[in-house]
A and B are shown apart, each in its own frame.
Chain A
Amino acid sequence: AQSVAQPEDQVNVAEGNPLTVKCTYSVSGNPYLFWYVQYPNRGLQFLLKYITGDNLVKGSYGFEAEFNKSQTSFHLKKPSALVSDSALYFCAVRDSMWENRDDKIIFGKGTRLHILP
């Protein structure tokens, strides 16, 4: 069965330091991977996605993620954290074996990122 794991409920990082939010996945076929961010009282905002191609994906607000097939991981990274990055981050996956019109994606439980000033 398809699944996503975000092993850390919370990550604390000092402002200006690099940050990493971890994500691992399990699918039957090839994975299509996504990161979303959720601010309080707001819906999910798309950050980036990996469909195919370069393993390093660059997204919004200076975030990037690295697809590692051997480790089945898709960790979210940023070289220098900002206080405004504090939010709830969700990793999500869909299976390439699903039909293209299948909108279903599987979300992780989320990781709360705290950037300390």
Chain B
Amino acid sequence: DAGVTQSPTHLIKTRGQQVTLRCSPKSGHDTVSWYQQALGQGPQFIFQYYEEEERQRGNFPDRFSGHQFPNYSSELNVNALLLGDSALYLCASRAGEEFYNEQFFGPGTRLTVL
């Protein structure tokens, strides 16, 4: 049983560009959340998707947007990239909306903005 998978593993972009990161949840999971982990920091919650809708959002600007597909996979889009967007982007999935169901994290996508 594959866990949470993310692609690509690494990505290099320049300021002002746009990027799309992808996530496939663990089998049987229908809720996907995205986190940003800056160097030396803990992960910060970006948003959560359930039933193809954004259900919760952290303190991130509208440049960060997402999508969830009928097969529960998800994309994170970041427009007008800034140097400060350089980070490890983590996707997490779980079964159902209830927070006490364990989240499983993917290995992350390392985004570098030059």
- Partner-B contacts on A (CB < 8 A): 4, 32, 36, 41-46, 49, 51, 90, 92, 94, 98, 100-110
Contact = CB atoms under 8 A, between A and B. Distances in A.
B56 A104 contact: yes
Interface of B: 4, 31, 33, 40-45, 48, 50, 55-56, 58, 90, 92, 94, 97-100, 102-108
Contacts, number: 69
A103 B55 contact: yes
Given A101-B55, A102-B99, A103-B94, 13 more contacts: A32-B100, A43-B90, A44-B92, A44-B105, A92-B42, A100-B97, A100-B99, A101-B99, A102-B56, A103-B99, A104-B48, A104-B56, A107-B43
A42 B107 contact: yes
A100 B56 contact: no
A102 B102 CA distance: 13
B43 A103 contact: no
Contact of A90 (B31, B43, B92, B103): B43
B56 A103 contact: yes
Nearest to B49: A103
